[in-house]
Structure 1
Amino acid sequence: MKRKRLTAFLLIILLTPVFAFGQSPLKGSVERIKVHGKSLEGNLEGNPTDPDVSIYLPPSYKKESKRRYPVVYLLHGFTDTDAQWYGFVKHWINLPVIADKVFSAGQAQEMIIVTPNALTRAGGSYYSNSITAGNWEDFVSKELVAYVDQHYRTIAIAASRGLAGHSMGGYGTIRIGERHPEIFSSIYLLSPCCLAPGNARSAEALAKIEAVKTPEDIAKADFMTKVALAYASAWSPNPLRPPFYTDAIVENGKLNPALEIKWNANMSLPSIDQYITNLKQMKGIGFDAGDRDQPIASNIKILHQVLDNYKIEHSYEEYQGDHINKIGERIETKMLPFFSKNLATK
């Protein structure tokens, strides 16, 4: 009787998948390369023209040499870097670990994920075109896509390309996506910033901006001061005003009204009606934010209403959370399955 039980136990062991006993999930690989951006050449801030780019290759990529993959371009947020998102530097998120979990469990079809290092002198370019920060919109939508298609086994058509991002990257996603449906067919915005005007700046905040006199002072500035400097670099550049090469942010103790007009014109909601035809071409549009992440949660609700008015299909959710505490979970359970559903695999 004991021998029969032992034999049955051995058969169970032999027939049970190895991963059930704690083996790590199948793992993809990460490459960190440099990609030259002609569109970044000559930027007045002196930002790199060969930014680092982190690329996640799914588990089967190096085993199935003839297989081609859809690609998601994932844009990081303000003051972040690709190194932080891909585990090279300790951060609040590790994208390859999340992707490995999703793909090894079969929760989504495998895809390549690409993230450029978009950190600039001011903290971020908002993925816009600017003589001061560089033409980041062009770099992402044209040069980076072309490079990845030439050097990796991608499915080089819009139907197989997605664009996503968090915070500043979410803003960059809708900015670039609505302008380039011929390049990206699906977009997903994670807690996107900068959709609407409304960030009133106190006298104290304006004084902090005025206190930044040299580029070296930027590193010492607080977060919101850096945001204002980055807005100016991206949206109100001025090649005649060194050392920041932007229009004056503060005039007579108040926010420069001419500059504020330029900033507001670059917010997504005021201009979205101009891109409805392009958005209607999208295969998939998704966005979400935590309910404690204000004013972002309120702004994506307006975006939801606008798209509803135009009868543009999309997914929208306001979940319990703040700006960063559930982003990894959202990528795992929402964003990657969203692209798995919407990106073509052939």
Structure 2
Amino acid sequence: MDLHLRPAEAGILNEHAIESFALRDNPLGDPSARPLVVYTPPGYDEDSDRRYPSIYVIQGYTGQVSMWWNHTPFVPSYPKMVDDLFASGDVPACLVVFVDAWTAYGGSQYVDSVGTGRYHTYLCEDVVPFVDAHYRTIDDPAHRAIQGKSSGGFGAMITPMLRPDIFGALASHAGDTLYELCYGTGFGDAVRLLRSWGGSPERWWEDFCARPAFTHPADMTLLGLYGVAACFSPDSDGKPVLPFDTRSGRIIEEVWAQWLAWDPVRMVQKYADALRGLRGIWIDAGKSDEYYLDLGAEAFVGELKGIGIDDVNFELFDGKHGNISYRYPLSLAFLAHRIAP
């Protein structure tokens, strides 16, 4: 259902609510109807025969699609950056698709899980076909790309590996990778924080849901780990299982192995053929990233070189994990050139 059209100055932001078959009856009871915003570039309505490449934009953990319009002092919103980029005429025109994958835990990691729902299927089998059916896209992986930051950067890395028949290029800004550093270094802190709830993540979650969010200093750390556990290592009933003993911090090897199976560094060899077929790969991170994702980026690019992929736009820049939105238009322009017809 079309909601309304929002002018973006040069292009148009088209707002929809789509009904997802993949998300019906998901285990968290999250809505199956999701917002979707599709940016059409300047000139889209003037030539009804022209078809366009498309770039899908996915968010980091706790991101919702409406948050793209949040304003930070002196920093334009990303949709404004997108519009300015295509209005300049310096890059090939593309559709830009802003995807919502929120869950009750704050995110989905864009994977299918009995703990959260089928968000990989939702993206690939609900969102992409909807856009192709309603807009003049070039329905070919060579002309479809995906971009994200943090957990969205992780999603941008793994989705073309899993579905090279859909996505043919990727851009990851500080994407989750090299999990022994990205996640593992925080396990000890999580154990100490859980002492306030007797070492029980379930008791923390009940408390979190019963009071204003983020009113305890433990909340952000525990939410990230608990929510990711729901994506990577739920039990058969969908309950999140953490990969460490919540009293000692000792690694539970069989659970940790489930997390490592989703580490993009460790996925490269398995999905080498899919990665070799991509038309463009952009990887970057801040040199002082708090989650060591600069090191994860180095490791991922090293694995790509190991399978013969040298054509990677790789950069480490001065910065941390946050306040890097100025990087997004850079990779968007890169993708636009790589997937242009």
Matched, 1:336 2:332: yes
Q: Which amino acid aligns with 2:20?
A: G
Consecutive unaligned residues in structure 1, runs of 5 or more: 1-24
**Structure 1 runs of 4+ with >6 Å offset:** none
Root mean square deviation, CA, Å: 2.2
Consecutive unaligned residues in structure 2, runs of 5 or more: 1-7
Q: Which residue of 1 aligns with 2:322?
A: 324
Sort the Cα spacing of 1:50 and 1:195 in 2 relative to 1 into closer, same or farther, 3 A: farther
Preserved CA contact (<8 Å) 2:13 2:37: yes
Q: Which residue of 2 aligns with 1:123?
A: 106
Q: How does 1:19-30 map to 2 (within 5 A)?
A: 27-30=10-13
More displaced 10-residue stretch of structure 1: 263-272 or 109-118: 263-272
| Structure-1 separation of matches of 2:324 and 2:63 | 17
Per-residue deviation at 1:197? Answer: 2.4
Matched, 1:154 2:154: no
Q: How does 1:105-254 map to 2 (within 5 A)?
A: 105-198=88-181, 199-200=184-185, 201-202=187-188, 203-207=191-195, 210=201, 211-214=203-206, 216-217=209-210, 219-220=213-214, 222-240=219-237, 245-247=239-241, 251=245, 253-254=247-248
Matched, 1:290 2:283: no
| Structure-2 separation of matches of 1:308 and 1:234 | 29
Q: Which amino acid aligns with 1:341?
A: H
Per-residue deviation at 1:75? Answer: 0.6
Per-residue deviation at 1:319? Answer: 1.0
| Structure-1 separation of matches of 2:229 and 2:263 | 13
Per-residue deviation at 1:32? Answer: 2.2
Sort the Cα spacing of 1:37 and 1:93 in 2 relative to 1 into closer, same or farther, 3 A: farther
Q: Which residue of 2 aligns with 1:13?
A: none
Sequence identity, in percent? 25
| Structure-2 separation of matches of 1:296 and 1:185 | 23
Per-residue deviation at 1:116? Answer: 1.5
Preserved CA contact (<8 Å) 1:54 1:83: no
> Any idea what the Cα deviations from partners look like across 1:279-325, whole Å, max 9, x if unmatched?
01111111111111140001101111111222212110001122232
Per-residue deviation at 1:239? Answer: 4.4
Q: If the length of structure 2 is used for normalisation, what is the TM-score?
A: 0.85
More displaced 10-residue stretch of structure 1: 300-309 or 204-213: 204-213
Per-residue deviation at 1:192? Answer: 0.6
* 3-state SS of paired residue (1:224): helix
Per-residue deviation at 1:150? Answer: 0.3
Matched, 1:259 2:242: no
* 3-state SS of paired residue (1:212): helix
Per-residue deviation at 1:193? Answer: 1.7
Which one has the largest radius of gyration? Answer: 1
Q: Which amino acid aligns with 2:122?
A: F
Preserved CA contact (<8 Å) 2:169 2:335: yes
Preserved CA contact (<8 Å) 1:73 1:114: yes
Size of the aligned set, in residue pairs, is 314
> Any idea what the Cα deviations from partners look like across 1:45-80, whole Å, max 9, x if unmatched?
111111211221112223333322110011111111
Preserved CA contact (<8 Å) 2:225 2:242: no
Sort the Cα spacing of 1:254 and 1:309 in 2 relative to 1 into closer, same or farther, 3 A: same
| Structure-1 separation of matches of 2:23 and 2:133 | 20
